[in-house]
Every structure is written in C-alpha cells, then in structure tokens.
Amino acid sequence: MAKGLPTRAENYSEWYNEIVKRAGLAENSAVRGCMVIKPYGFAIWEKMQRALDDMFKETGHVNAYFPLFVPKSFLEKEEEHAEGFAKECAVVTHYRLKANPDGKGLIVDPAAKLEEELIVRPTSEAVIWNTYKNWIQSWRDLPLLINQWCNIVRWEMRTRLFLRTAEFLWQEGHTAHATEQEAVEEAERMLEVYATFAEQWIGLPVIRGVKTPNERFAGAIETYCIEAMMQDGKALQAGTSHFLGQNFAKAFDVKFVNKENQLEYAWATSWGVTTRMIGALIMAHSDDNGLVLPPKLAPIQVVIVPIYKSPEDLASISEKVAPIVDELKAAGISVKYDDDDQQRSGWKFAEYELKGVPVRLGVGMRDLEAGTVEVARRDTLSKESRPLEGIVDHVNGLLDEIQANIYKKALAFREENTFRVDTWDEFKEQIEKGGFISAHWDGTAETEEAVKNETKATIRCIPLNAAAEAGKDVYSGKESARRVIFARAY
RNA sequence: CGGGGCGUAGCACAGCCUGGUAGUGCGCACGGUUUGGGACCGUGAGGCCGCAAGUUCGAAUCUUGCCGCCCCGACCA
C-alpha cells in the first residue's frame, strides 16, 4: 500500500483528494474554488482532447472560438436558460483599476463602470446563437457543426478537484440544423460518441439515458446523458448532449429560408464533456496504491526502471534497454526510461504505481545475465519474469489486455451494485448501501422530489434501452411504464 | 449562505489550557555508507507563529475584530 494514502474503505473522499494531489494531477490554487491542473494531470486531459477531437472531426465538426464574456442582455434572451444559470455567474462590472488615493494598492476605478455588465461564460449558447444569426440565412448554410474547447466559470460554493470547481475546462459543441429530426439525431449521435469514448478510452462503462424534466439542462427540450458508477457506489454524470429545439433560434431570431422559400427557425443541439472526466477516471479504476490509468489515456504507458549498484552496471543496463525503448516508441507506445540516479528503484516502483503507469519493466544485472525482464502490471499488481526477446510484442498485447480488463472490472462492479427494487422499504435500505437502483417511477416531478428529499437519491436517467415494463412506482404506487435509475450522485 | 474545525519552516503537525521570544517528522543542502519494493548515519540551512488592535515588564500562547482555508448541509458538470 502506498505510504500514508488513506484507503477507499476508510475514507473514500479523502482517498480521492490524496490521489489527485500525490499523483501530481492537480492542486488547489490561491484562487478560491479554482484548481491548478499540473503537467501530469494536463497530459491526461490532452490525451482525452485528442481522442475526442478526432471523433468530433470524424462526425463532421469543426473547431472555432467564441468570447469568454457574455453580455448580460444575451444571457437574458432565453428565459429558462437565464434562470438556470443566473445564480452561478461571475459578473464583470468594470474595466479598469487605479492607484488607491488613500494609500497603497489598487482599487476599482468607479469611473470605469461598464455600460452593460459582462458575464463570464457559464456556457456559450447565448454568444454563439447571437453569432449564428449572422451565419445562417439559407438551408444551404445548414447544418452548422461547430465545437469549441475552452474554459467556463460556474460559481460553485463547494468545490472538489476535477469534480466541481468554479472554473473548468471543457468542450462545447453547438450545432444548427434545418429539421427537428436532424437535430435530435445529432444529439443522439454525440451522446454515442461520448459513450464510446467513455467505454473504449476511459474504460468506464456508462448508461445512456435521458434526464427527467427536473434534471434537464436549462433551455433544453431533451437532455441526454451518460451516467457512470464510481467505486463508492455513487453516480457521476460523465457527459451530456442536448436537443434544444428552436428555443435559442427563437430567442436570437435565427431564421433560414428552406427549399420552399419559407422562413423557419433553426433547430439546435449542444453537447459537452469536461475535465470532470478525469475525476471519473480516477474514481472508477484507482486502488489503495494510487492511480490506475487506462493505457489509452496514460501519459506514460510503460516505464522502465533500471536496478543497479554501480554506475558501470547502470551503463550496461542502459545499453541493453536503449533498443527496447526505440522499439516501443516505434510501436507507438509512450515509454519512459527512468535512469534518474537520485532515487532508488524501490522508491520508483512505488512512485509509478501511485501515478498509475500501466506497465513497468524492471531490468537488473540478473536480468542481463539471464536475458529476462521483470514485467509488472498496474491493474492487477502482478509481476512476472519474461524473456527480453519479444518483449515489445508482449507489452503491446499487455496494454490492450489492461485496457480491456479495467473496463471489465468496472462493468462487473456496476452490475454487482445495481439493484432492482420494488418496495419503498427496500429502496430506503438499499440507497444507504450505495449503488444504482432500478425502480419504477410514475413520471411525476412530485414523486421525484419526494424521493430526493427522503433519501438524497435522484433519478440519474431514464435509460435509452429501458424495456417497456408495466409496474408500480416504488414510492407512490402509481402506474409506471418502465424502470429508471436512481442513485446518490456527485 | 447556515453548522463545525483549522491557520506555527516547502509539506504534515506539536507547543497555547498554566505568557518568558519556537520544536518534531518529511522534504531540502553537504559528506559518508547503501541500492531486486518508498535506505541509514552525521552535519547544516530554513519561521514577523494568517493580519490588526488590545492586556502585560514580556504574547505563538490571553482578549477583540478582520482575513483565509478545510469539512458537513442547500445548489450544480
């Protein structure tokens, strides 16, 4: 076990916080509620960005950039949207500071008050649809498929590294379409992109679903989501995709002329995933020794640690290892040969385990003589001695195996902790133990609210693949057509 | 914004109750011995004790007021 790292069983949230800090992913900043993403954490984000961006491009999207500031009047235009975000907005009121006449330091120059306040974007629908108004005239201008990578600010009272901070990084896709059907298909397509990314890259099984009206994005007609289970049995929303109908087109007067020469409002979607996915990755796979990274997102996939006594030994190990490093690189594997003389091998083993490096190769003098290498995998913590010959192929296969294994493990965990519940007593008992509860819901906001008040559990989603099944609401006893997923959530 | 806790070296903390000018561990620097799972010994550097005012001969310690951070709740990706 890592030195002094709290265990998941002892204190799950402290375990999480410590992993984030000790693995060098992020730390709290001097600015309240904001985080500093450190190089190792940012490297994971860069890998996520790369993979997602490729998927966005493959589905026909292009990147652009819109301003950080949203004039208050823009935000106001779509009423529900405005209401939903109003209570968490940072507002710019002035554009200048000046020397404090009463002493040292600076004060806000009262003479430099902005005519109209600017909101630091909590999301960009308003700015973007205000822009789209000028870009869209004809059906020939559609669909408009644009994404941007940026930061946003949502003034949170209580923050946690990666999971909830006042400022965070994300991507937001904003598309405009000529027909309702096309927009709905886009929202569903992007949800599937997210689900694929979560499952195949993060190794995180997700439930695809739609939100209840209560949980919907402010201004959306339908919110699709992917929900994942963390190791403490709580749910975490890993991505959302919205069908916005014509709400924003109407608010910003975005009309186009269709093939019949008639004016119509454009149909919209928006979709986003955030740096929160890094939190999901940590909480889904890591163990009491530290981080466990899926090979596809690991900044370092393979670390090679030389084990030696004298500088001469190190030299001969380095000589033997050099071609292997080259071969691994040639095979597209990111590898680090850690010949740093400042730290001992035992220290390095522990350190790379804490950092979640999927595969570690240990090479010592004994290996040199025997033509072997010690192969250690992070996900199972198992070690074996293998012939140096053919090691690159072996590692390549091993990375795939680890990627598959951590997904399998997470899926098995979710299945073991998902319960079909049909009585209210059972519901209350189970929710205390954690996990997902699949239960009947009568479709009313009243019941949803009552369940939340009594148990802190919310409806995470109505699964897209939910089979029609007549039943009785677990709380109210009223008629229900299908089961939904209840859980306590992050 | 309500309830609780905490601000002392880069980090984690002790000292405060019972006032006398600051200590431990990790880390850091140097030297040596070590090296197949977080080495050990020795020497050394490093602090306006969150800020401000008050009490006192004297304040990290007592009083008051600020500021900041963390945890628990309501809100949220």
Count structural domains, chain A: 3
A367 and A445 inside one domain: no
The nucleotides of chain B lying under 7 Å from a protein CB are 1, 34-39, 68-77
Mean pLDDT of A386-398: 97
Residue labelled with tokens 């909480």: A283
Q: What is the CATH number of the domain that holds A444?
A: 3.30.110.30
Measuring from the CA of residue A382 to each C1' atom, give the nucleotide at the shortest distance: B37
A217 and A158 inside one domain: yes
A405 and A435 inside one domain: no
A472 and A383 inside one domain: no
Q: Which of A364, A389, A373, A365 is nearest to A302 (CA)?
A: A373
Q: Which two tokens stand for residue A463?
A: 């699964």
Asked if residue A260 has pLDDT above 70, the reply is yes
**How many Cβ atoms from other residues are within 10 Å of residue A310's Cβ?**
9
Distance A128 CA to B16 C1' (A): 58
A402 and A423 inside one domain: no
Question: Domain for residue A31, yes or no?
Answer: yes
Dihedral, CA of residue A291, residue A296, residue A300 and residue A302, to nearest 10: 100
pLDDT in tens, A225-252: 999 999 999 999 999 999 999 999 999 9
Residue pair A424/A474 in contact by the 8 Å Cβ criterion = yes
Q: Is A444 exposed, middle or buried (0-12, 13-18, 19+ CB in 10 A)?
A: middle
Distance A45 CA to B10 C1' (A): 28
What number is the ipTM of this complex? 0.88
Measuring from the CA of residue A239 to each C1' atom, give the nucleotide at the shortest distance: B77
A29 and A176 inside one domain: yes
A345 and A448 inside one domain: no
A445 is in which domain, residue-wise?
Answer: 418-487
Question: Domain for residue A451, yes or no?
Answer: yes
Asked if residue A199 has pLDDT above 90, the reply is yes
A331 and A242 inside one domain: no
pLDDT in tens, A448-473: 999 998 898 999 999 999 889 999 99
Q: Which of A272, A61, A35 is nearest to A165 (CA)?
A: A35
Q: What is the CATH number of the domain that holds A120?
A: 3.30.930.10
Q: What is the CATH number of the domain that holds A388?
A: 3.40.50.800
Distance A166 CA to B54 C1' (A): 39
A268 and A299 inside one domain: no
Measuring from the CA of residue A383 to each C1' atom, give the nucleotide at the shortest distance: B37
Distance A375 CA to B27 C1' (A): 31
Measuring from the CA of residue A236 to each C1' atom, give the nucleotide at the shortest distance: B77
Question: Domain for residue A1, yes or no?
Answer: no
Question: Domain for residue A163, yes or no?
Answer: yes
What is the distance between the alpha carbons of residues A202 and A226, in angstroms, rounded to a whole number? 13
